Amino acid sequence: MLIEFSVQNYRSIKEKATLSMIASPDDAKNNNVIRNENIEDGILRTAVIYGPNASGKSNIVNAMQFLRNFVLTSHMIQKGQKLNYQPFKLNEESRSSPCQFHIVFMRKGIRFAYNLEIVQEKVINESLYSYPRGRQSLIFERTNSTTFKFTKDKPEQGFISERTLENVAYLSNSTKLNYKGTEEAFDWFREDFLTVGLANDPTSEDLIFELIKSPHMKKIVLRALAEADVDICDVSAKKTSVEYSKLPPELKPMIRNFMLLSNQEEVIAYETKTVHKIMGKIGKEEQVTFDMMSEESEGTKRLFMLMGPIIDTLVHGKTLILDELDVRLHLLIAKMLINLFHDEGQNKSGAQLIFTTHDVKLLDQQLFRRDQIWFTEKDELTKGTRLFSLLEFGPRKDENVEKGYLAGRYGALPFIPTGKVME
């Protein structure tokens, strides 16, 4: 599970921005908290991020996605290859400073802390610590790109460090070279940390395909669709290979990235069919088949694509990051999906959901605790993204947060001086 994430000097984020999933000492909505013996007040099951357009909320998600992808794929980078370095550009000093990422997470009851700093040519600093029985233990520390420090397995780790290029993450390369000391941390990024953007993600298609192959998991998917009242009684899918060269140009970068992450050598296309029941002319029930992509509504497609990551996350206790959860979804369906994570009966494995949204109707203290609600806005002086929690304003537990937000009480609103455009 995710405990904390920080990012600095990345895209619109100039100063350090930290999203903490550690619960505050509050007795409100205890079902929204995962109790853990190592974290006194527990870990939040969900967090929501609000903010106006171009305030940087999606860049918080992008930063998590970038870090995950870099850890999982950087061992494939060739010597001298430039990194996907995206610093804050509205400041001269920032344009040549490292992008910095720091993440704290827990896997199999052990807490880990990973730090990464990169520029275009190389990894500057990198470190990984674990906290077995609550005590800090250094796994590796890397400074000035090529200087390493180890406290255990020194000969083995020294051998690996000498074979780690300056532009490659040691966490990635050491796992590739079968070093067991970094395996659990790497596996958390690979197996327990999912990020889904606004566009259709091949990962979502793959997950939903794998789910509906299992009769038990397919029942869960259909039950979720029934709860959302989309009138689908059955679903099937088959996959075929497609030549990469024949893909539309706009899809190639996303597909290539997915192929690298999943070690796939071919492009897989999915053909998904849904089944609807209708009453025929003579009162006999009939079934009608639809093609998911060409005949179902945009809302149904969006919900269906989300069900793979959401159910996979709930079943296996993962952390899921979603950009704009509510797009094309009715408010009640969005609330239903969120409540799956808050319901201890549905979320037995400690799964987490972190998402961005514009829908102010979700700003509800009947749904979220105050420490689960976050905002982004542009700093007036630096023009960089600022991330902050509703807790900073100390609202009453019975306060109408939606009304307060729209009144500008918490900031993070677009400034529209006159609304006049066509004069």
Confidence (pLDDT) at 230: 81
Classify residue 356: in a domain, yes or no: yes
99 plus 78 within the same structural domain:
yes
Residue 92 sits in a domain of what CATH number?
3.40.50
Tell me which of 94-108, 190-204, 255-269, 339-353 is least confident.
255-269
pLDDT band at 227 (very low <50, low <70, confident <90, very high): confident
Question: What backbone phi and psi angles, to 5 degrees, belong to 11?
Answer: 50, -120
| Best mean pLDDT range from 71-80, 193-202, 285-294 | 71-80
Classify residue 317: in a domain, yes or no: no
| Residue 183: pLDDT over 60 | yes
Q: What are the CA-CA distances from residue 164 to residues 31, 66, 79, 160, 318 (Å)?
A: 45, 20, 10, 6, 29
Q: Is the dihedral of CA 12, 16, 22, 27 positive or negative?
A: negative
Q: Which of 308, 334, 362 marks a domain boundary?
A: 308
| Residue 90: pLDDT over 90 | yes
Confidence (pLDDT) at 17: 98
Classify residue 331: in a domain, yes or no: yes
Classify residue 314: in a domain, yes or no: no
161 plus 29 within the same structural domain:
yes
Confidence (pLDDT) at 47: 98
In our burial notation (b when 16+ CB lie closer than 10 A, e otherwise), range 159-177 reads: ebbeebbebbbbbbbbbbe
Confidence (pLDDT) at 138: 98
86 plus 22 within the same structural domain:
yes
In our burial notation (b when 16+ CB lie closer than 10 A, e otherwise), range 30-65 reads: eebbbebeebeebbbbbbbbbbbeebbbbbbbbbbb
28 plus 144 within the same structural domain:
yes
Whole-number Å distance between alpha carbons of 316 and 323:
21
Which one is predicted more confidently, 362 or 422? 362
What is the tens place of the pLDDT at every residue in 340-353?
999 999 999 999 99
| Residue 402: pLDDT over 90 | yes
Q: What are the CA-CA distances from residue 347 to residues 34, 45, 342, 344 (Å)?
A: 10, 9, 7, 5
143 plus 4 within the same structural domain:
yes
pLDDT band at 327 (very low <50, low <70, confident <90, very high): confident
158 plus 38 within the same structural domain:
yes
Whole-number Å distance between alpha carbons of 400 and 168:
48
Q: What is the mean pLDDT of residues 226-245?
A: 82
Confidence (pLDDT) at 299: 86
Q: Which of 274, 308, 342 marks a domain boundary?
A: 308
Confidence (pLDDT) at 382: 94
Confidence (pLDDT) at 111: 96
Confidence (pLDDT) at 419: 63
Confidence (pLDDT) at 115: 98
| Residue 246: pLDDT over 80 | no
Q: What is the mean pLDDT of residues 125-142?
A: 95
Q: Are 105 and 112 in contact (CB under 8 A)?
A: yes
Q: Domain range for residue 34?
A: 1-198+323-423
8 plus 137 within the same structural domain:
yes
Classify residue 263: in a domain, yes or no: yes
76 plus 111 within the same structural domain:
yes
| Residue 122: pLDDT over 90 | yes
As a whole-number percent, the residues of the chain with pLDDT over 70 amount to 91
What is the tens place of the pLDDT at every residue in 257-291?
665 555 565 667 788 999 998 877 767 788 899 99
Tell me which of 48-57, 267-276, 397-406 is least confident.
267-276
Which one is predicted more confidently, 204 or 383? 383
Tell me which of 23-37, 199-213, 351-365, 387-401 is least confident.
199-213
Tell me which of 105-114, 181-190, 395-404 is least confident.
395-404
Confidence (pLDDT) at 201: 59
As a whole-number percent, the residues of the chain with pLDDT over 90 amount to 67
Confidence (pLDDT) at 302: 86
Residue corresponding to tokens 């990235």: 257
Mean pLDDT of the chain: 90
Q: What are the CA-CA distances from residue 93 to residues 14, 97, 216 (Å)?
A: 10, 6, 55
Classify residue 32: in a domain, yes or no: yes
167 plus 251 within the same structural domain:
no
pLDDT band at 376 (very low <50, low <70, confident <90, very high): very high
Q: What is the mean pLDDT of residues 167-190?
A: 98
| Residue 198: pLDDT over 60 | no
Q: Quickly count: other Cβ atoms within 10 Å of residue 217's Cβ.
A: 17
Classify residue 318: in a domain, yes or no: no
Classify residue 313: in a domain, yes or no: no
Residue corresponding to tokens 């430039």: 82
| Residue 182: pLDDT over 70 | yes
- 403 burial type by CB count under 10 A (0-12 exposed, 13-18 middle, 19+ buried): exposed
283 plus 399 within the same structural domain:
no
Q: What is the mean pLDDT of residues 73-82?
A: 94
Which one is predicted more confidently, 394 or 126? 126
294 plus 370 within the same structural domain:
no
Q: What is the mean pLDDT of residues 301-312?
A: 89
191 plus 333 within the same structural domain:
yes
| Residue 200: pLDDT over 80 | no
Q: Which of 308, 341, 376 marks a domain boundary?
A: 308
Domain count, the chain: 2
Q: What is the mean pLDDT of residues 35-62?
A: 92
